[in-house]
Amino acid sequence: MAKIAVEESLTSIKQALADNGYEVTSIEQSQDAACLVISGQDQNIMGITAATTPAPVISAHGLTDEEIVQAVNKQTGLQSY
């Protein structure tokens, strides 16, 4: 299944994604990741970013683990049943 990069602090989301068959990796190891999941807590107020990625970024802020899994499923083309 797809590799998903997840911010270090999001342990329950890492587990939920692993339970759904995803290969979970750190943001630092995000090359080849299908998408990235970040906490959304450290928003860049100035709008300046040092890193870029072609992969979609999902903000976990205000979402449940299941909602994150559904968002990842949508980004990777998988359907939740």
> The domain spanning residue 27 has which CATH number?
3.40.50
Residue 29 lies in a domain: yes
Flag whether pLDDT at 55 surpasses 70. yes
User: Number of structural domains, the chain?
Assistant: 1
Give the CA distances from residue 51 to residues 5, 26, 39, in Å, rounded to whole numbers and listed in that order: 14, 15, 16
User: Which tokens sit at 47?
Assistant: 């709008």
Give the CA distances from residue 56 to residues 34, 53, 71, 81, in Å, rounded to whole numbers and listed in that order: 7, 8, 10, 22
Q: Is 63 helix (H, G, I), strand (E, B) or coil?
A: coil
Residue 81 lies in a domain: no
Flag whether pLDDT at 48 surpasses 50. no
Residue 36 lies in a domain: yes
Give the range of the structural domain holding residue 53, as residue numbers without chain letter: 3-76
Give the pLDDT score at 52. 63
**Residues 6 or more apart from 42 whose CB is under 8 A from it?**
none
Distance of CA 76 to the CA centre of its chain: 11
Residue 42 lies in a domain: yes
In this predicted model, which residue has the larger pLDDT, 49 or 65? Answer: 65
